[in-house]
Amino acid sequence: MLDVIIIGSGPAGLAAAIYAMRAGLQTLVIEKQPMSGGQILNTVDVDNYPGLPGIGGFELGMNFHQHAQKLGAQFVTAEVTAIEAATEKEKVVVTTGQNYTCRTIVLAMGATHRMLGVPGEEALRGMGVSYCATCDGAFFRGKTVAVIGGGDVALEDALFLARGCEKVYLIHRRDTFRGARSLQQKVFDTLNIEVIWDSVVESIEGEGMVQLLQLRNKRTGQQSALSVQGVFIAVGISPDTDMVRELVDCDENGYICADETCETSVPGIFAAGDLRTKPLRQIVTAAADGANAITSAENYLYHCD
């Protein structure tokens, strides 16, 4: 029987794999896609991971993966469909491939983008509506696009798109950004980014492709139409916890309730990274969770024996 199964291979899962291998635990990492990295794969420059200024998200994800692999971590690509935690000493992870038994589990499935929830968003998805600037930005070279949101991702996306697009509107529902001050300054210094404050998108319109955004200014109530060829939605993330919501305690937004020990409400199951209740979701805090989760798992295994 495996000592630990790690579900997910973003920074939290891969840091957990590194710590588990160094602790001599029999470890398996189950990843949904064979490309490790999680959300950082879509990050152009990671400017706040200590010691590696400006490293590309893809490269950092690969580095994490290779580090875990070098220490002997085993990886399998499959989707986990259920977890059976019948006893404290044995848990079963059910996947689209085979089932695996283990003594402890680290949940590190991360989070994915949130939808805006306005008319036209779903119908024009892939036809000008995108959730990933680094994936789709090249299609909009020389064009006019909008980015919606005011967090780190929206600011990073606007900066990335401004390199190739003629004009980038950054539409935010308030009059201050939530994202890092260093990114804000870069946005303000970039001539082809125009910030539209206090405004929300009411609908996305177009015949076959995005053509117009209907906006409403929240302060004045004034409505206006903005002509764009693409819209990048960066309004936050939701945790990928649907599969475990009946199993472990989650908060009202679906984040798994766990403190820095990463212990969940089920003994032997730990939560690491963006899917856990925590004040700061960054690559460095996800990696720290991976380390903490394995330390807690080791303590658990020690006391179970």
Q: Which residues are catalytic?
A: 132, 135-136
- Say how far apart CA 231 and CA 211 lie, in whole Å: 9
Q: Can residue 150 be called a binding residue for ligand NAP (CB under 6 A)?
A: yes
Q: Residue with the closest Cβ to ligand NAP? A: 151
Q: Can residue 132 be called a binding residue for ligand NAP (CB under 6 A)?
A: no
- Say how far apart CA 243 and CA 258 lie, in whole Å: 17
C-alpha pair distances (Å), 86 with each of 74, 76, 223, 265, 300: 25, 23, 56, 14, 16
- Say how far apart CA 305 and CA 289 lie, in whole Å: 24
Instruction: Please identify, using beta-carbon distances, which residue of 153 and 266 lies nearer to ligand NAP.
Output: 153
**Which one of 151, 230, 239, 268 is in contact with ligand NAP (CB under 6 A)?**
151
The token pair that represents 282 in the structure block: 């960054």
Lookup result for tokens 């996305």: 204
Strands 212-217 and 223-227: antiparallel
- Say how far apart CA 74 and CA 26 lie, in whole Å: 9
Q: Can residue 290 be called a binding residue for ligand NAP (CB under 6 A)?
A: no
- Say how far apart CA 133 and CA 231 lie, in whole Å: 9
**Which one of 26, 48, 203, 214 is in contact with ligand NAP (CB under 6 A)?**
48
Q: Can residue 219 be called a binding residue for ligand NAP (CB under 6 A)?
A: no
The token pair that represents 1 in the structure block: 């029987």
Site for ligand NAP in 250-279 (CB under 6 A): none
**Which one of 174, 194, 242, 261 is in contact with ligand NAP (CB under 6 A)?**
174
**Which one of 46, 68, 73, 168 is in contact with ligand NAP (CB under 6 A)?**
46
CA 143 vs. chain centroid, Å, equals 27
Closest to 276 (Cα-Cα) out of 260, 258, 264, 261: 258
**Which one of 165, 234, 258, 266 is in contact with ligand NAP (CB under 6 A)?**
234
**Which one of 25, 83, 231, 235 is in contact with ligand NAP (CB under 6 A)?**
235
Order of strands across the sheet with 144-148? 129-130, 230-233, 144-148, 167-171, 193-196
DSSP 266-295: STTEEE-STTB--S---HHHHHHHHHHHHH
Q: Can residue 152 be called a binding residue for ligand NAP (CB under 6 A)?
A: yes
The stretch near ligand NAP (CB under 6 A) out of 133-141, 143-151, 216-224, 259-267 is 143-151
Instruction: Please identify, using beta-carbon distances, which residue of 83 and 234 lies nearer to ligand NAP.
Output: 234
Q: Can residue 116 be called a binding residue for ligand NAP (CB under 6 A)?
A: yes
Q: Can residue 37 be called a binding residue for ligand NAP (CB under 6 A)?
A: no
Q: Can residue 120 be called a binding residue for ligand NAP (CB under 6 A)?
A: no
The stretch near ligand NAP (CB under 6 A) out of 43-51, 73-81, 119-127, 216-224 is 43-51
Q: Can residue 237 be called a binding residue for ligand NAP (CB under 6 A)?
A: yes
- Say how far apart CA 54 and CA 46 lie, in whole Å: 5
- The residues of the shown chain that bind ligand NAP, judged by CB under 6 A, are 43, 46, 48, 116, 148-154, 173-174, 178, 200, 234-237, 281-283
